[in-house]
């Protein structure tokens, strides 16, 4: 297998959110894209990236700031959504490199936002729901959240939970753990 075929983008997004219903006219929009590049061949996390995204139809609420640590002023310095998607394609080979996320929220949020804005979907078709793989590997009936999965796998939570950059880093650790056990899809079995 070529080295490039062993690389995986692990993605975690944070989006505008509210304690209850969104304000009239506001929608969930991606405000941070965390991306960790994983080399499945060497078992290493080889790149940690953060892309801030400026929301166009909503604002960062106090609830969202408390949850994610992101402020409106901070995300105002980010790229627009279209620019963030172009950056994913240009710098992270998002359209050709396989990718994974914890659950399907991230994939669905990109799909919804791309459709709403007319932005080309930045990712290829090779997506793996790491939460589902983890639940199968550990024979769990209920799919755990990322923090709970880290406890089950006896791995540390590094950084701030609900930071896209840190969550992608932690999800990557879970994926590498699954890969080392032979439970990640495509892992050669002895």
Determine contact, residues 33/51, Cβ cutoff 8 Å. yes
Candidates 114, 104, 26, 130; CA nearest to 72 is 26
129 pairs with which residues across the strands?
Answer: 101
* DSSP β-bridge partners for residue 79: 53
Domains of the chain and any CATH numbers? 3-180 (3.30.420.10)
CB 134 within 8 A of CB 174: yes
pLDDT at residue 2 in the model:
39
C-alpha distances in Å from residue 27, one per residue of 31, 104, 148: 12, 18, 28
pTM attached to this predicted model: 0.95
Residues in the chain: 190
User: In this predicted structure, what is the pLDDT of residue 5?
Assistant: 66
**pLDDT tens, residue order, the chain (190 aa):** 334 569 999 999 999 999 999 999 999 999 999 999 999 999 999 999 999 999 999 999 999 999 999 999 999 999 999 999 999 999 999 999 999 999 999 999 999 999 999 999 999 999 999 999 999 999 999 999 999 999 999 999 999 999 999 999 999 999 999 999 999 998 665 5
């Amino acid at each position: 297998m070529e080295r490039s075929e062993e690389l995986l983008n692990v993605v975690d997004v944070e989006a505008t959110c509210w304690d209850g219903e969104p304000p009239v006219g506001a929608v969930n929009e991606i405000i941070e894209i965390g991306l960790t590049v994983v080399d499945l061949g060497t078992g290493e996390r080889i790149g940690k990236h953060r892309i801030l995204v400026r929301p166009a139809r909503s604002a960062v609420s106090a609830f969202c700031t408390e949850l994610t640590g992101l402020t409106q002023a901070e995300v105002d310095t980010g790229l627009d959504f279209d620019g963030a998607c172009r950056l994913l394609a240009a710098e992270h080979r998002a359209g050709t490199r396989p990718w994974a996320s914890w659950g399907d929220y991230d994939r669905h949020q990109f799909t919804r936002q791309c459709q709403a804005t007319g932005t080309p979907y930045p990712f290829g078709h090779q997506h793996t729901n790491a939460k589902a793989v983890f639940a199968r590997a550990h024979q769990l009936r209920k799919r755990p959240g990322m923090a709970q999965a880290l406890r089950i796998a006896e791995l540390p939570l590094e950084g701030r939970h609900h930071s896209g950059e840190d969550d992608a880093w932690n999800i990557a650790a879970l994926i590498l753990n699954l890969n080392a056990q032979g439970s990640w899809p495509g892992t050669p079995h002895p």
